[in-house]
Structure 1
Amino acid sequence: MCGICGVYGYHADEPVDQHLLTAMQQAILHRGPDDAGAYTEGPLGLGFRRLSIIDVVGGKQPMTNEDESVVLIFNGEIYNYRELQAQLRQRGHTLQTNSDTEVIVHLYEDEGVQCVHSLRGMFGFALWDKRRQRLLLARDRLGIKPLYYTIKNGTLIFGSEIKALLQHPAVQPAMDHSALNLYLGLRFIPAPATLFRDIYALPPGHILICERGTVRIVNYWHLSFETDPSEQRTIQDYTDELEALLQECVAMHLVSDVPFGAFLSGGVDSSTIVAMMSQFLNEPVKTFSVGFTEPWANHSELAYAEIVAQQYQTDHRNIYISPNDIHNLAAEVIWHLDQPIADEATIANYMVSKLASQHVKMVLTGEGATSCLRGMGATIGKSAVHGCGGSRRRCGPL
């Protein structure tokens, strides 16, 4: 996890305020404690905080091409970067680092804004094209990495977290009541809306292009459910393909120059990932689980996590959450989230993340598996029948 932020006064000639850029970087210091970097050019300022994962020494940012006409700040990981490195070398590029960041720089030189189609991974980045006077913001297909922006008086302000934008004096926090309605109805706020008026989340699979005094947003990817009706496949065919894709995905996620581990709940999703990690690694997988004290002990799944940990001989650690933890950590967790999300596991995830951070720099998790494999069908159906009106009624006076 890294953090990016920036300001571009596309209708202004005044140089960017260095103190403002520093304040925006400080607001997201927790996202990248390892290093910091900045780039300024007239009304443009790019700020960066780094958590080093790949090419710890060479992957410093902002990163540029040879003549510094392309400047990049990047949060995320590109999992097919080695394949892309080989392609770039075949095209005649000389790579100065082994980082996935540099791959984006040279891909943009060759392919322009279409470079996002070549990237397989999670990302939120800002790229400055000096020759074209173009600022490009891009977010990965599923929106795994966050990226927010606002426009004030011809100035584009952006960052990995809303709190970075709020450092700008032109950005005054005010509630967007339509977004509040979305939250009370859906239990989350879908992009591009946020709870803050005039602050937007760049939607997943979209790029924002600021050039020639205009800002436009382009959808570069959408999920397709098209199938070939003439294709005859069995359940076993789909099962085999899913297993192969999972193994490929896990293997790609294990490319790292720093220690890593996995969250282990004992459920099918995280247990499958830990099982596959153990196949690829020559050392025990570092696993981390969260359990509950009374009065919630009956809801704990630690027993299942322990079974998986023993089966695969993992280096396992547990942490326990109590009612007092909910009370003591609520404000801290809310500060990190920037806006509400109705996920009962948020504080538990926060605690197990703090535990993991004492031993590794990144973890693999089973997040998203339930949604991808339609495990939420019963919950979705229940919500569709009964709705979430209770929350709206209780908050009616707001």
Structure 2
Amino acid sequence: MWHRERPVQASDLTGMLNAMIHRGPDDEGRFTDRNMGFGMRRLAVIDVLHGKQPYYSEDGKVVAVYNGELYNYPDLKILVESMGHHLNSQADGEVLVHLYEEFGMNFLDRLSGMYAIALWDRKTHRLILARDRVGQKPLYLYENGEMLAFSSELKSFMNLNGFRFDVDPKMLSSYLAHRFVPAPHTLVKNVTKLRPGEVMVIHADGRRQRWLYWQPSITEPDSTMQMTYWADRLHGLLVDVVRGHLASDVPLGVFLSGGLDSSVLTAIAAGTLERPLAAWSATFPAKYPGYDEFAWAEKVAKTYGIELHRVDVDLTITPERVRELAYVLDEPMADPTVLPLDGVAKAAAEQETVMISGEGADEIFAGYAGYGEVHSLSWLRKVPTWARNLWIQQNWPGSNAFRRAAVPISERYRGVGFTFNPEEQRRILKPEWVQPDRPGAVAEYWMTHANLPELQAMQGFDVQWFLPDDVLLKADRIGMHYNLEIRVPFCDHEVVDLALRLPLALRRSGKEDKRVLRQVAKRVLPPEIVRRPKQGFPTPLTDLLAGPLHDIAWDTLTSDSALTQEWLNISEVHRLLADMGPGHGTTARQIYSLLMLELWAEEMQSKVRDAQRRGYSSSVIRS
């Protein structure tokens, strides 16, 4: 917390820290100096007994707290000790203060890992806030003119005197389009979040500077080298990265679906780790046909002698739990894969403290089926213009594909999480709340990258927004909710950079996806795992909304007290609910998006009022 005019007391941090005990049940630390103070909750993973925060330089002039892991800590330790610094523990974050002393703001360039950092320079009285390159760890900011508060979770601001929970309806279009709100925005006024690879400096006089110290390489790919070269590079890099991610002084396991991504990481981990490895697999029962991959996970586990735990996650998907998840996730986020992740993470946390996850591979290696549209639409564009126009005029089957082929990628693409198109947004939102669904940085991205090859531009958007604001957000919130650290080797920035330099033809060819990763997989996995079609992290959302989640969807969205009635056309909500059923997957995603928005608004409003009853002067403002 930084205050413009008054000193910050340690007691000012109590409420925010109490709201984040789940992120760090093992320890707490606080520091205040004049008009600045910060605190942290610790989940002990490295040097469990001695890694207490905050960290101090030898002269006490640089102080830091951080959340995350530095996977290149052994090299950083050697570096700072060679420069004459003394470390008081084996905790990885202690090197941060010494790196800042030696390299100033360039200290961030030395880091490899996942992190959110707050560093106070007592000589210059400047506060430095930074987020890791790919966005594995969050960092939220709340400003009201008098102070700036920062936190790993938005919900902690509710225990902050003066916080106003004021929904920003101008961001609703963006949420409905993407199923999340792209950074740096949120759906709460005066609350933003640092983008991946972003740093913010607050100077003694209150001036702010905010810039990106790293961005993924969204440029023309490197077409000079062949498949074998790239497969060798990727294989060697993944072995090094996974080895770094396995460092832990507490129990560690892997999430294993039986798909390509988690299986490759499991195989490499099993060949690297010098102790037995356990894996956890989420499954759905036979009443949800096509959603059980356990046989594939079992094959990988048997190949490497891994203990495999089966978790039937349908038992954890209840109306009560979905409501709780709307609060746990911190922001409205409508990715249904959070439902099985919640169940398997809860089970794993009973025995593990750290889990390895295969998230991120689809974005960086072009694994999503939607990326295949680039190939199919390119063929449609070869059809003579008169024939395309006739096809569209007659509205023959496939007309929508011809229409999409005529639209530039910068106007057409809304990301993997695309839920409501612009026309659907105009129908579901009241007219006064309809806004462009590409705010700020997203609009700027498409202006500057519109002429790139379509696949490259699509991946660039997903790596910078869908991956951190959806995929990694749910991994962080669900993991931390269960005191579980989820590590994501595919999101190492060197792996991301390598993947985004691959020739386009080595990313996808027709229906063959993740081609270079598959070459690596051939070296470590049974052939049938490599050849099997992609299934993702499947969630039978339509069946769930027709079954255990049917009543909560209807009752919540049609209630006279629904908060979203202020923003939504209730007649269109009723129409979507009436259309829900088998064969209406798009409708199911849209209903789930509206449901999570309403539950989030209700839960956040309720928690603010709980904070008021505890004596905090936070408030609820209806937009």
CA root-mean-square deviation: 2.1
Alpha-carbon offset, residue 284 of structure 1? 2.5
Give, as a single letter, the amino acid of the residue that structure 1 aligns with 2:428.
C
SS in 1 for 2:116: strand
353, 358, 361: which one aligns with 1:361: 353
Deviates more, 1:266-275 or 1:331-340: 331-340
Matched, 1:396 2:448: no
Matching of residues 251-330 of structure 1 within 5 Å = 251-322=243-314, 325-330=317-322
Do the aligned partners of 2:314 and 2:340 also contact (CA within 8 Å) in 1?
no
CA change 1:380–1:237 in 2 (3 A) is closer
Q: Which residue does 2:115 correspond to in 1?
A: 123
More strand by share: 1
Q: Which residue does 2:128 correspond to in 1?
A: 136
Q: Tell me, in whole angstroms, the C-alpha distance in 2 between the residues paired with 1:155 and 1:19.
A: 16
Matched, 1:153 2:185: no
CA deviations on 1:292-332 (whole Å, 9 max, x unpaired) are 13532431211211111111111211111227723231122
Matching of residues 1-398 of structure 1 within 5 Å = 7-9=1-3, 11-12=4-5, 14-211=6-203, 212-225=205-218, 232-322=224-314, 325-378=317-370, 381=373, 384=413, 388-389=420-421, 392=425, 395-397=428-430, 398=567
Q: Tell me, in whole angstroms, the C-alpha distance in 1 between the residues paired with 2:142 and 2:289.
A: 44
Do the aligned partners of 2:68 and 2:115 also contact (CA within 8 Å) in 1?
yes
SS in 1 for 2:67: strand
CA change 1:379–1:171 in 2 (3 A) is farther
Alpha-carbon offset, residue 153 of structure 1? 2.2
CA deviations on 1:184-225 (whole Å, 9 max, x unpaired) are 112221110111111001111110100132111021111124
Alpha-carbon offset, residue 178 of structure 1? 2.5
Give, as a single letter, the amino acid of the residue that structure 2 aligns with 1:376.
Y
SS in 2 for 1:164: helix
Q: Tell me, in whole angstroms, the C-alpha distance in 2 between the residues paired with 1:245 and 1:295.
A: 41
**Higher radius of gyration, 1 or 2:** 2
Q: Which residue does 1:4 correspond to in 2?
A: none
Deviates more, 1:93-102 or 1:371-380: 371-380
CA change 1:350–1:323 in 2 (3 A) is closer
More helix by share: 2
Alpha-carbon offset, residue 391 of structure 1? 5.8
Runs of 4+ in 1 over 6 A off after TM superposition: none
CA deviations on 1:335-380 (whole Å, 9 max, x unpaired) are 1111122211102111111111111111110000111101125268
Deviates more, 1:365-374 or 1:283-292: 283-292
Q: Tell me, in whole angstroms, the C-alpha distance in 2 between the residues paired with 1:228 and 1:350.
A: 37
CA deviations on 1:224-252 (whole Å, 9 max, x unpaired) are 245797x8421111111111111111011
Do the aligned partners of 1:149 and 1:201 also contact (CA within 8 Å) in 2?
yes
CA change 1:136–1:309 in 2 (3 A) is same
Deviates more, 1:256-265 or 1:15-24: 15-24
CA change 1:387–1:338 in 2 (3 A) is closer
Q: Tell me, in whole angstroms, the C-alpha distance in 2 between the residues paired with 1:393 and 1:289.
A: 40
Alpha-carbon offset, residue 396 of structure 1? 2.1
Q: Tell me, in whole angstroms, the C-alpha distance in 1 between the residues paired with 2:256 and 2:216.
A: 29
Do the aligned partners of 2:166 and 2:189 also contact (CA within 8 Å) in 1?
yes
* Percent of residue pairs identical: 36
Do the aligned partners of 1:184 and 1:391 also contact (CA within 8 Å) in 2?
no
Deviates more, 1:46-55 or 1:317-326: 317-326
SS in 1 for 2:287: coil
Q: Tell me, in whole angstroms, the C-alpha distance in 2 between the residues paired with 1:121 and 1:380.
A: 31
CA deviations on 1:147-180 (whole Å, 9 max, x unpaired) are 0002122311010000112221222111122222
SS in 1 for 2:39: strand
CA deviations on 1:81-103 (whole Å, 9 max, x unpaired) are 11111111221112221111111
Give aligned pairs, total. 389
CA change 1:391–1:171 in 2 (3 A) is farther
CA deviations on 1:6-25 (whole Å, 9 max, x unpaired) are x110x21x232443311100
Deviates more, 1:287-296 or 1:184-193: 287-296
CA change 1:395–1:338 in 2 (3 A) is farther
Alpha-carbon offset, residue 393 of structure 1? 5.3
Q: Tell me, in whole angstroms, the C-alpha distance in 2 between the residues paired with 1:314 and 1:133.
A: 51
Query: Structure 2: any 5+ residue segments left out of the alignment?
Result: 374-400, 402-411, 431-566, 568-623
Q: Tell me, in whole angstroms, the C-alpha distance in 2 between the residues paired with 1:324 and 1:111.
A: 48
CA change 1:348–1:228 in 2 (3 A) is closer
CA deviations on 1:66-112 (whole Å, 9 max, x unpaired) are 12111111001111111111111221112221111111110001111
SS in 2 for 1:138: strand
Do the aligned partners of 1:149 and 1:165 also contact (CA within 8 Å) in 2?
no
Deviates more, 1:250-259 or 1:314-323: 314-323
Deviates more, 1:380-389 or 1:61-70: 380-389
SS in 2 for 1:213: coil
SS in 2 for 1:216: strand
CA deviations on 1:8-51 (whole Å, 9 max, x unpaired) are 10x21x23244331110010110001111111123222111000
Deviates more, 1:297-306 or 1:42-51: 297-306
SS in 1 for 2:290: helix
